[in-house]
Amino acid sequence: MSAAPLFFAGASMYLSARQAKAQREAAKMQAEAYDEQAAEALLKGRFEALEYRQRGVDALRRLNEVLAASLARAAAGGIDPTSGSAAVIDMASQAEAIREKNISESNALMAEGDAAFQADQYRRAGQIAIKTGNVQAASTVAAGLIRVGQLV
């Protein structure tokens, strides 16, 4: 066998191997990017949950202010704040504030849940990207071998 086919077969195989390696590297980098995106999603979720909880707190703070004003007014007016309409109005306020506070808490939990889900998506995508890279690399090597096989 002359040297030329061997040279071309060797060169082709070498380049295929390099291509496969590059594919695996690209997949790895893609996975890393996904991991970072997962972390970012978690972080965003926590911030959002925090904002929701802050609103719950704000609702309770506002309720407290309303109840204090009502108490003061009643006192000033001589009204028993613990009964009658005052009490009813306060109870209504309490109900409203608590509802909003509960909604905020639910939203915070939901935000955290969404973030966790998104982060999980990214992590899984990264793992799959590595598998894809491996498959592509294997395919590239196999194709290279086939070509070599046709040359020699």
CB nearer another protein, residue 83 or residue 106: 106
CB nearer another protein, residue 11 or residue 57: 57
- Cβ neighbours of residue 3 under 8 Å, at least 6 residues apart? none
Q: How far is the CB of 16 from another protein (least distance, A)?
A: 12
CB nearer another protein, residue 21 or residue 114: 114
CB nearer another protein, residue 8 or residue 145: 145
- Picking from 57, 46, 41, 1, the residue whose alpha carbon sits closest to that of residue 125 is 41
Residues in contact with another protein by CB under 8 A are: 34, 37, 52, 55-56, 58-59, 62-63, 66, 69-70, 73, 85-86, 89, 92-94, 96-97, 100-101, 103-104, 106-107, 110-111, 114, 117-118, 120-126, 128-129, 131-132, 135-136, 138-139, 142-143, 146
| b/e per residue 73-110 (b: at least 16 CB within 10 A) | ebeeeebebeeeebeeebeebeeebeebbeebeebbee
- Picking from 35, 39, 45, 14, the residue whose alpha carbon sits closest to that of residue 129 is 35
Q: How far is the CB of 108 from another protein (least distance, A)?
A: 8
- Cβ neighbours of residue 31 under 8 Å, at least 6 residues apart? 125, 126, 127, 129, 130
CB nearer another protein, residue 7 or residue 65: 65
Tally Cβ neighbours within 10 Å of residue 61: 12
